[in-house]
A and B are shown apart, each in its own frame.
Chain A
Amino acid sequence: MSPNDTDRDRAGEAPLFLSLSPQERRHLLAGASARDYGIGETVFTEGDPADRFFVVLEGRVNLFALTAAGAQSVIETFEPVTTFAEAAIFGAGIFPLTCEAVEPTRLLHVPAKPFLDHLAADPGVTRRLLAGLALWQAKLYHEIATLKDHSPAVRLAAFLLSLTPVTDGPAQVHLPFPKATLASRIGITPESLSRALARLKPLGVDVQGRDIHILDVSKLRKDAT
């Protein structure tokens, strides 16, 4: 199946492509094709020749190794929009792990040879791919710093405050998504979210379903962040 424009636009959001110009991106992904996978469907198997890499457009895949006992040991999980298995095409040329869709998933397949030929012909493009990865590293470093520095309650308060334009006095906030999504958005488990909400209660944060009342925005900002 050939990718539609939406697929290509989405793929362009992957960190690897961040520093490329739109034309370069189009050129590099010219031979790519999109494919849908059902739950549990295999994308590739350990030892297969790495003749392509992938961009997760929708859904989720697991990369895993099989243990001696035949059990799956999940090494990595990839969600939209990220590339995966590109290290295999740059490097060894075989897939070192097995990959399977864990939900209904749409992947962009990027054939290795034209991609590598294009890079070999244009060191500028290679440099911009490396620059994209460098930006991604910087982003991950900051994410680590934030995760390390702040308790779940602080991160939750910062997120709630970001949802309101109010800077002083009371504010009413409606969560744009369910609480489970909120938990994953600020990087905590649903259990930690309940605890974090409980901790913010004495600071004037009252939760009714997805409606959240903040007694005093400036006070919360001062006390919790």
Chain B
Amino acid sequence: MSDPNPSTLDRGVLANLQLVPLFGGLSEADLRAVLGDARLVPVAAGTDLFETGQAIDTVYVIVSGSVEVAVIESGRRCVVEVARIGALLGDTGLFGDGRYPNGARTAGAATLLAIPAGPFLAQILGRFDLARRALTAMSVRLRGLVTRVSEMKLKTAAHRLGDYLLALACTDQGQVTLRLPFEKRLVAEQLGMTPETLSRAFARLAPLGVETRPDGTVLLADAGCLAAALEDA
């Protein structure tokens, strides 16, 4: 990792951490206890935070930016998730063999909260209220993954893209202009498809009023019409 630039955890950062399911609703004192000597570190784009199989020394919370989570499949690196603000990274292996079960690399420049892993684990296991939160957070995260796997199995790429756009639009009515949260390559990663498949998926949604604009925005001519078409698909 690049040279960390330690900085104190101000109220603003602590407020941000309320977004992390594990920390939501914790008092400031509790939060400081759990975070221990955590430091805020700016990280350049394309930095490997950790790799599969390394001993876990740090867990991370994304404070800004996004991080690619990748596994090695048939000898190749394969991105399985693009984690965003509020995601906790590197914690799962702590409860098992103490090694990172996957790799993580920053997608763009990011700010991360680096939490020393040992004291963090001790806090969680030492306080049942925190352990319960950890179980809840992990169950909820896994539900999300199970849903993604079944969608990848059952839905076409165009259907998944349509669902994704509607989720971004936050409405299923009327005309919507939206901005993709990542560049297209990362959107493809997030949806579990290649960039070429993503382009074809956009093309297949065009007759349903989905238009990509040169400025990077996406226009949904009629979100209701798109939602209905996906429902019937």
Enumerate chain A interface residues (CB-CB to B < 8 A). 15, 19, 76-77, 86-87, 90-91, 116, 119-120, 123, 126-131, 133-138, 140-149, 184, 187-189
Q: Is the interface of A mostly helix, strand, loop or mixed?
A: helix
Given contacts A128-B95, A148-B152, 10 further A-B contacts (CB under 8 A): A76-B147, A91-B136, A123-B125, A123-B126, A140-B145, A144-B152, A147-B153, A148-B193, A187-B153, A189-B154
Q: Which residue of chain B is the closest to A19 with respect to CB atoms?
A: B96
By the criterion CB–CB under 8 Å, are A143 and B149 in contact? yes
Contact among B81, B140, B149 for A147, CB-based, below 8 A = B149
Q: Which residue of A lies closest to B189 (CB)?
A: A148
Which of A128, A129, A130 gathers the greatest number of chain B CB atoms within 10 Å? Answer: A130
Q: Which residues of B, 134-187, contact A by the 8 Å Cβ criterion?
A: 134-136, 138-143, 145-150, 152-154
Could you tell me which B residues sit within 8 Å of A by CB distance? 69, 71, 73-74, 76, 78, 80-81, 92-93, 95-96, 101-102, 125-126, 128, 131-136, 138-143, 145-150, 152-154, 192-194
Q: A138-B101, A141-B102 are in contact. Are A133 and B73 (CB under 8 A)?
A: no
Contact, CB under 8 Å: B78 / A134: no
CB nearest neighbor in B for A63: B143
Interface residues of B, dominant DSSP: helix
Q: Are A76 and B192 in contact (CB under 8 A)?
A: no
Can you list 23 residue pairs at the A/B interface with Cβ under 8 Å? A76-B143, A86-B135, A87-B140, A87-B143, A91-B133, A119-B131, A123-B125, A123-B126, A130-B135, A131-B95, A134-B96, A134-B101, A135-B96, A137-B92, A137-B138, A138-B71, A144-B145, A144-B149, A144-B152, A147-B152, A147-B153, A147-B192, A187-B153
Cβ B125 vs Cβ A119 within 8 A: no
Contact present for B135 and A133 (CB under 8 Å): yes
Whether the Cβ atoms of A87 and B136 lie closer than 8 Å is yes
Chain A, Cβ-Cβ closest to B145: A140
Known: A133-B92, A134-B95, A148-B193. A141 touches B142 (CB 8 A): no
A173 to B147, CA, bound (A): 32
Which residues from chain A contact B154 at a C-beta distance below 8 Å?
189
Within the complex, the shortest CB–CB distance from B145 to chain A, in Å, comes to: 4
Q: Is the CB of B141 within 8 A of A137?
A: yes
A184 to B93, CA, bound (A): 30
Query: Which residue in chain B gives the minimum CB-CB distance to A225?
Result: B74
Bound together, the chains give a CA A110 to CA B143 distance in angstroms of 19
Residues of chain A contacted by B139 (CB below 8 angstroms): 86-87, 90, 133
What is the bound-complex CA distance between A25 and B80, given in angstroms?
31
The one of A86, A135, A141, A187 in contact with B69, judged by C-beta atoms closer than 8 angstroms, is A141
CB pair A129 B135 closer than 8 Å = yes
In angstroms, Cα B147 to Cα A125, docked, is 27
Task: Give A19 to B96 CA distance when docked, in angstroms.
Answer: 8
* Chain A residue at minimum C-beta to C-beta distance from B95: A130
Contacts of B150 in A (CB 8 A): 77
- The CA-CA distance from A61 to B153 in the complex, in Å, is 19
CB atoms of A142 and B141 under 8 A apart: no
Query: Contacts A86-B139, A136-B142, A147-B192; is A141 near B74 (CB within 8 Å)?
Result: no
Q: Which of B132, B147, B148, B192 contacts A90 (CB 8 A)?
A: B132
**Which of A90, A138, A146, A147 lies in contact with B102, CB distance below 8 A?**
A138
Complex contacts, A136 vs chain B, CB 8 Å: 142
Contact (Cβ within 8 A) A188 B153: yes
Q: A148-B78, A148-B152 are in contact. Are A134 and B138 (CB under 8 A)?
A: yes
